[in-house]
Amino acid sequence: MDGAEVNVQQQWQAAIFDELKRAQVRQISYVPDAGHALVIRKAQADPDILDVALTTEEEGVALNCGAWLGGHKAVLLMQSSGVGNCVNMFSLLSSCRFPFLTLVTMRGEYAEFNPWQGPMGKVTQQALELMGITVMRADDPEKVGELVNAGLASAFEAGEQVAILLSQSLIGRKSWVK
């Protein structure tokens, strides 16, 4: 990735964090992921946000629900491979009508090098939709902030369950590190 690509990536990631702050999100949970790295670092540095590193993504679904019960907004950051880990826990969202927002970095798409990422990446959107979660997709770096703002409104003003898929073309090519 060259310097211009890194700058564009930092801009849309910064736009995500700015929207989360503007909406007064107080908790961000995540399994560490390069696609969410800037948002994670900003959350870790912000004294108003509790950042929670997870061992598995479904813990984040429960944490988001608990944060809401405690009067706070929470957002789950994960990679598309983590969606498969959450399917059973997603039933909590619809059964209890919890508002929910997750930002999902996609794998198994644009220039994917890792064959293990392909199967879940190809069915991420359908898996989310089957669980009753509204899916929005970000492909244009200039529209990421606007889409996150819309997702926050749908989740925390209308009480919906929302996933925003951040396309792999936004994140750029990944490769094995030697």
Looking at the chain, the number of H-run helices and the number of E-run strands are 7, 6
Long-range contacts: 148-156, Cβ < 8 Å, 24+?
148/15, 148/16, 148/19, 148/20, 148/103, 149/19, 149/22, 149/23, 151/101, 151/103, 152/19, 152/20, 152/23, 152/25, 152/73, 152/101, 154/101, 155/99, 155/100, 155/101, 156/23, 156/73, 156/99, 156/101
DSSP letter for 178, please. Answer: -
Mean pLDDT, residues 71-83: 95
Q: Which residues contact 24 (CB under 8 A, 6 or more apart)?
A: 73
Range in 9-18, 119-128, 168-177 with the lowest mean pLDDT: 168-177
Does residue 94 lie within any of the structural domains?
yes
Does residue 176 lie within any of the structural domains?
no
pLDDT reported for residue 166: 96
Does residue 35 lie within any of the structural domains?
yes
CATH of the domain at 103: 3.40.50.970
Sheet holding 100-105, edge to edge: 50-53, 25-30, 73-79, 100-105, 161-166, 134-138
Q: What does the alpha-carbon distance between residue 47 and residue 161 come to, in Å, rounded to a whole number?
A: 27
Tens of pLDDT, residue by residue over 47-57, are: 999 999 999 99
pTM for the complete prediction?
0.91
CA 101 to chain centre: 8
At 164, the pLDDT band (50, 70, 90 cuts) reads very high
Number of neighbours of residue 84 by Cβ within 10 angstroms: 14
Does residue 112 lie within any of the structural domains?
yes
pLDDT reported for residue 119: 60
Mean pLDDT, residues 2-29: 87
Does residue 177 lie within any of the structural domains?
no
Tens of pLDDT, residue by residue over 93-136, are: 999 999 999 999 987 666 656 656 656 668 799 999 999 999 99
Is the pLDDT at 81 greater than 60? The verdict is yes
Residues in the chain: 178
Give the structural domain span for 166: 3-171
Does residue 178 lie within any of the structural domains?
no
Report in angstroms the alpha-carbon separations of 168 from 32, 111, 146.
Answer: 16, 8, 18
Is the pLDDT at 2 greater than 60? The verdict is no
pLDDT reported for residue 170: 83
Q: Quick one: tokens of 156?
A: 């925390």
Q: What does the alpha-carbon distance between residue 6 and residue 8 come to, in Å, rounded to a whole number?
A: 6
Q: Say how many domains are in the chain.
A: 1
